[in-house]
Amino acid sequence: MVKMPIKGHLQLIDVDFKYETREEYVFKNMNLDIPAGWKVGFVGPSGCGKSTIHQLLQRFYEPTKG
């Protein structure tokens, strides 16, 4: 397996997100900026949105806004 370096700059700007099956928003006006070459870890308690952010960055989920 060949590792390819990530050269992109990742940004989420004023993102709103909620699951289709829920009324409440998971994120409102969230901003995230990860410069190219940085290593980032998401930490926090269960249910705080770590996996949701990861899936938004991978485009498995589409934001409601942003």
Tell me what the pLDDT averaged over the chain comes to.
90
Query: Does the residue 62 lie in any domain?
Result: no
Kindly state the percentage of the chain with pLDDT values over 90: 61
Query: Does the residue 2 lie in any domain?
Result: no
Query: Does the residue 45 lie in any domain?
Result: yes
The mean per-residue pLDDT over the stretch 13-17 comes to 95
Query: Does the residue 63 lie in any domain?
Result: no
Q: How far is CA 11 from CA 3, 17, 26, 35, 41, in A?
A: 22, 15, 18, 8, 15
First to last CA, the chain: 34
Query: Does the residue 20 lie in any domain?
Result: yes
Owning domain of residue 33: 10-57
Give the model confidence (pLDDT) of 25-39 as tens digits: 999 999 999 998 888
Query: Does the residue 66 lie in any domain?
Result: no
The mean per-residue pLDDT over the stretch 43-65 comes to 92
- Specify the pTM: 0.77
Number of domains in the chain: 1
CA–CA separation, 46 and 56 (whole Å): 17
Query: Does the residue 1 lie in any domain?
Result: no
Handedness of CA 33, 36, 41, 47 (dihedral sign): positive
